[in-house]
Structure 1
Amino acid sequence: MAIIITFDFPGTTQAQYEQVTNKMTEGRGLEKASDWPVAGLISHATGPSPTGWFVTDVWESEEAFRQFGAELAPLLREAGIPETEPKIYQAFKVVMG
């Protein structure tokens, strides 16, 4: 079952987000789900929040997200982004445009 993941990274900037995504994709950036290093991403949205930087993803499963998280965590540390626990919700419906 699909899950919704939300992160709010306090004090994080767009430049730090882009540092992580560029490192994750060997400089290609993230433009489509297939750019992710782990299969299973359905959608990704990100932007500034009142406290820093916000990310919302929809993943095919919690297992796919956890695999991605294992690859993501060291990159976040390297970029100086504080550790934060994601909020995880079961998706009732996912509609793609």
Structure 2
Amino acid sequence: MPIVVLLEFPGVSEAQYRQACADIAGHPEGLHRRADWPVPGLLSHTAAPTEQGWLVVDVWASQEAFEEFGELLAPILRKDGFPPAVARSYRTFNLVMS
């Protein structure tokens, strides 16, 4: 069952977000296509600056897919100077994709 994951990163800059995307993708262009993601299961990714830092909203095919990605993500975020994330996940009720 798909899940929505909200990640809030207080104090994170656009430069840090861009660097993490490049590190995750394994190339400097970052994450612009699903093919850039190192694990299967991502359905959508949205990121935006906030007054406090950075917000990421992902939709994953399952909790297991997100957890697999999380194992790869955690050391990258530490390396790029991210604070511990405030993560929340929710089971989807409705998902519309174009």
**Under a length normalisation based on structure 2, what TM-score does the superposition of the two structures give?**
0.94
1:24 Cα offset (Å): 1.3
* Counterpart check, 1:2 vs 2:14: no
- Any idea what SS the aligned residue of 1:72 has? helix
Please give the alpha-carbon distance, in whole angstroms, between the structure 2 residues aligned to 1:26 and 1:38.
Answer: 12
Superposed counterparts of 1:56-75, under 5 Å: 56-75=57-76
User: What pairs with 1:1-97 in structure 2 (closer than 5 Å)?
Assistant: 1-27=1-27, 28-97=29-98
The runs of at least 4 consecutive aligned structure 1 residues that moved more than 2 Å come to none
- Code of the aligned partner of 2:9: F
Aligned residues: 97
Contact 1:8 1:49 in 2 (8 A): no
Can you give the 5+ residue segments of structure 1 that lack an aligned partner in the other structure?
A: none
Structure 2, unmatched stretches of 5+, are none
Task: Please provide the CA RMSD for this pair.
Answer: 0.9
Length-normalised TM-score, structure 1: 0.95
**In the aligned structure 2, how far is the partner of 1:24 from the partner of 1:39?**
13
